[in-house]
Amino acid sequence: MLALGNLLEMTLAGHEPASKIQLTPEGTRLRWLAEGALEVTPAAGRDNGMDLLLSAGIHGNETAPIELLDRLLCSIARNELQPRARLLLLFGNPGAMRRGERFVEQDINRLFNGRHELSSGAEAMRACELEHLAASFFADTERTRLHYDMHTAIRASRIEQFALYPWAEGRRHSRRECARLQAAGIDAVLLQSQPSTTFSAYTYAGLGAEAFTLELGKARPFGHNELVNLDRLELRLHAIIEGREPAVDEAAIERLQLFSFAREVIKHSDAFVLHLPVDVENFTELEPGYLLAEDLANSRWVVEEQGARIIFPNPKVHNGQRAGILLVPAADSLLE
């Protein structure tokens, strides 16, 4: 296998390759850009005009999508997968990946859309570097731009594989892209309605790409992801990369659960209390009137919405950060 096909191994070892550019026998070019960052350019005459950014490891302990990215790159390096799309493959937080931890000092996925400028440290610098890498990759606005930022969740979920679709002023969420996700094994899409500081929000709002945060099961250590079935996503990615993706059936949207964001629960102080079981699952339904959380100064979050569900409940976040999100069902009329 070509040395650059071992990007994961190099990243975990903290090594920089001696040769930054290599070619497969078929003529695909692999180019090492920075730690955990590799650009793949199709062989001459094969480029179909798509720029596909695939990122994983923004949280270092979310290993199933890291392993998926590694399999894709190994297949390209062995000439088994012959791209027509141009690719940027990113392992987001190498330091946290080497430790097997979510992050080292701070959550990188809270540091995009310029938020890193208000912070310091290695992870703020890495968020800035990832923004620059993505901006350079998506510089040609005449090309099709797609970004999947792949994650796994801290806790179990009643809907195991779901996507967060960022928001941007003046843009409508795409029915076609949601149907494509359904074909890739995604069961639900959360339609965001306000700005965010995640990586996919940066590429969507700042760079004009279609972009999603994909949650693909529960976080487990390397080599222990046999319960995370990414077969449908992997097959779809192979098809997108090789330019042989079947026509997207927009009627598939009927098989996709859609949700919109109702409210965020913000932790303001150390007095914050989240009134949920420690092992509560994502997408757990909450009845109207349920006291969800309390904080200082009589701050209370009481469920008012019909059909409300909770995702990402985490009372251990830093003060000022989101400790959970309330969702409500959404109609597909929100898609265009």
Q: Please tell me whether 173 is known to bind a ligand.
A: no
**216 with 304, same domain?**
no
Same domain for 104 and 202?
yes
Whole-number percent of the chain with pLDDT over 70: 100
Mean pLDDT to the nearest integer, 235-263: 94
Residues 187, 316 share a domain: no
CA distance 126 to 134: 12
* Domain finish residue from 255, 275, 305: 255
| Residue 28 pLDDT > 90 | yes
| Cα-based distances in Å from 46 to 85, 214, 241, 294 | 8, 28, 11, 57
Closest CA relative to residue 147, chosen from 34, 222, 53? 53
135-164: pLDDT as tens digits: 999 999 999 999 999 999 888 899 999 999
Tell me: do 247 and 284 sit in the same domain. Answer: no
Considering the domain architecture, whether residues 123 and 269 belong to the same structural domain is answered as no
pLDDT value of residue 196: 94
What is the DSSP secondary structure assignment for residue 54, as one 8-state letter?
Answer: E
pLDDT of residue 219: 83
Is there a domain that residue 260 lies in?
no
Q: Are residues 151 and 240 in the same domain?
A: yes
Whole-structure pTM value: 0.95
Domain residue limits at 81: 3-255
Set 39, 129, 215, 281: catalytic member: 215
* 62 marked as binding residue: yes
What digits encode the pLDDT tens for the residues 282-303? 999 999 999 999 998 778 999 9
pLDDT in tens, 92-102: 999 999 999 99
Whole-number pLDDT of residue 218: 85
Query: How far apart, in Å, are the Cα atoms of 65 and each of 172, 180, 207, 296, 324?
Result: 28, 18, 23, 38, 23
Residue 272 sits in a domain of what CATH number? 2.40.50.630
In a domain, residue 169? The reply is: yes
Strand-pairing partners, residue 123, are: none
Total number of residues shown for the chain: 336
Lowest mean pLDDT among 19-33, 100-114, 210-224, 265-279: 210-224
Cα gap 130→116, rounded to integer Å: 11
Residues 284 and 215 in one domain: no
Q: Measured between alpha carbons, how far is 156 from 276 in angstroms, rounded to an integer?
A: 14
Residue among 192, 307, 190, 186 at smallest CA distance from 252:
186
Same domain, 172 and 240: yes
Query: Does the active-site annotation cover 215?
Result: yes
Q: Domain check: are 316 and 210 in the same one?
A: no
Say if residue 250's pLDDT is above 90. Answer: no
Q: How many domains does the chain divide into?
A: 2
281 annotated among ligand-binding-site residues: no
pLDDT of residue 225: 80
Read off the pLDDT of residues 61-114 as tens digits, 9 standing for 90 and up: 999 999 999 999 999 999 999 999 999 999 999 999 999 999 999 999 999 998
**pLDDT of amino acid 227:** 74
Taking the CA atoms of 71, 73, 74 and 75 in sequence, report the sign of the dihedral they define: positive
Question: What's the pLDDT at 1?
Answer: 60
Same domain, 275 and 214: no
Q: Determine the Cα–Cα distance for residues 305 and 285; give it in Å rounded to an integer.
A: 11
